[in-house]
Every structure is written in structure tokens, then in C-alpha cells.
Structure 1
Amino acid sequence: MCENCRMRVWIYFAKAPIRVVRISRRRSATRLKRAMVQIKSALAQEKQETKEMLATYKKYTQRQASAEEMQAANKQFVDLLKGLGLGVFAVLPFAPITIPLVIKLGRMVGVEILPSSFNNDKK
């Protein structure tokens, strides 16, 4: 094998760790972007459901809302309160640790802390 070929092989293997780092960075960036898009869509859904809830409550004040609409609006109101409750933990120090811990503890006890739009499993 010629000296130039050996040098190319060494350069190829020397660059391998750099390539691995670049690929892992790209993979983690893609994962983060996907998570942000999921959060954005969940927040957009919550926003739309909250607008519908407010419209239903407005109809209720005019005595035009049905019982089914009021049940859906009340369910959305409970979801809104869940989101506000999580907002308290977001202000606390160590929020990236405490929020998942509180969610996990809530599920162990049987209480769903996240609003319905953040649940992946649709029933």
C-alpha cells in the first residue's frame, strides 16, 4: 500500500469521532425540534378548546347552552386549572426535575396532572 493511501485511511479513522459527534448533535437537535412541535400543537389545541369553552359560557349566560356543551366546557375548565397548577411548578427552582417528578407521582397515585391535550394516548 502506498504512503498516501495509508495517510488517507488514518485521516478517515481520525475523523470518525468528529462524525459521530456531528451525527449525535443532529439527532438530538431533531429530537428537540419534534418535542417543540408536539408542545406547540398541544398548546394550540388547548387554546382552541379554551376559546370554545368561553363561547359556551357566554351562551350559558344568555341561556342558550345545552347540557352537553356545558359538560364539555366544564371539562375544559378543569384542564385549564391543571395547566395553571403546572405553571406554579415551572416557576420553582429545579423545574426540569420537579415537573416530571410531580407528573410521575400523580400517575402513580392515579391523578392525571397534565391537561388532556398533552396526553399521547387518546381514549
Structure 2
Amino acid sequence: MALPKVTKQGLVFREWRAGEELVKGGFGLSEPRDDLPPLDPTALIVPLAAFDRAGQRIGYGAGYYDQAIERLSKNGPVLTIGIAFSVQEIPEVPAEPHDRPLDHMVTEQGQVPLRPAPLRQT
């Protein structure tokens, strides 16, 4: 398992094992220690402020996860799973060309069926 650490260069994921102490990070977060090995995960649980049924999400404004997903995708597919409360669903997220829809979405009510995203023109 890896946990994210916010750095000036973006998110760094560090190996973490149950029982290991976390340290105080920015934004009031608890983060893994700097001496833990970095990892490039192939699956991410992605935080969000809002989501829609197309799997688009609104994050918390800094773009950390968008950048991490883009970077990690260069190594191969990255499974993305959004976790939210059902009240965070909105009819449509104003997605931009660089946004990548989530693969799965889960709320306290269970898995949210996502409609397939339209094919992008490149």
C-alpha cells in the first residue's frame, strides 16, 4: 500500500504498512515519512469534492491527483476509484480536455454506475 505525500513537485506515493506512524503534512493532512520508499501505484483511491455519472470529478483545486494520474499513466494503465458521499453527485462536471474520467465511483450507497465517456478527438 502507498500513501500520498504532497511535495512542490506534486504527489509522491510512499510505501506504508499498517501501524507505521504518519507525520503532519500540509493542508492538515497526515502523510507517510520521507524515509519510506517511493512507489508508483497502478490503482488510486481519488478524493473529490463533486462527481457526475460520466466519472468526471471536481478535485480540491490544486490538480495534484490529475497530475499524478497523468504521470503514472505513462507507466501503464492506472485504475482510478472515486470515493464520495452520494450528496456530492452533480448533474455534470465541467470537464476539460486534460481531465480523465474515473474508472469507478463508490458512495455510502454502493457502487455508482457510470455511463461510458464519449470518445475524445485527438
TM over 0.5: no
Structure number having the greater strand percentage: 2
- TM-score bucket (shorter structure): under 0.3
